[in-house]
Copies of this chain bind each other. A is one copy, B any other.
C-alpha cells in the first residue's frame, strides 16, 4: 500500500478520535496533518467518505479480534462443558462497550463511522463492511448449543437485538441515564455489561 495512503488512514484514525463532530474532519485538515494535499485523499480513496470507511474497517478488525479472543477464552475456560450463556453474550457485546468507554481506545472511529453510514448517501459503500465485518456467525454455534429450542433465525434475531441494546448504550447515554434515574453508572463498563447480560440472557432461556 502506498505510504501516503497508509499515512492518511493513520491520521484519519487519530483525527476521528480527537474530534467531537464528524464535520470537523475535513480533507484539508487530514492532508495537512499527513503532510500532503487534499487532492491526494480523492486520488487514493476516491472520496473522503471512502477513506473513513477504510479507516473504520481497520478498527473493526481489531474489535472483532478481541471479541473472538474473549469467546475462545470463555470456551476454553469451561471446557469440556459448553461455556456459560452469560460469557458468550459478554464476549459479543463487551468489547464494544468497553472500547466505547476507555479514553484511549479507537472506538470513536466506529461511532463516527456508524453515524456516517446512518446519514444515507450510498448504502452500497457500507454494505460490505456491515455484512462482512459485522456478521457474527462465529457466535451462532455456541448459542445453538445452549438454546437448541431456538432456530438459527431466532438466534440471529436475538443477537441482533443484543447488538441493538449495545448500540443504545454506546450512542444514547444521555437518554439511558434519564430513563434509569441515574442509578446506573454508565461510565463503568463492567456494570453496564452486567446489565446488558441481565436482559439479553432471558431472551435465550426456554419459555415456560
Contacts and interface: CB of A to CB of B under 8 A. Distances in A.
Nearest to A112: B120
Interface of A: 19-23, 112, 114-115, 118-121, 123, 127, 130-131, 134-136, 151-153, 156-161, 163-169, 171-172, 174-176, 178-181, 183-184, 195-196, 199, 202-203, 205, 207
Contact of A134 (B121, B152, B175, B205): B175
A163 B178 CA distance: 14
Nearest to A152: B181
A159 B179 contact: yes
Given A115-B118, A174-B127, A168 B160 contact: yes
Given A21-B121, A131-B175, A157-B184, 5 more contacts: A20-B121, A135-B178, A161-B199, A164-B168, A167-B168
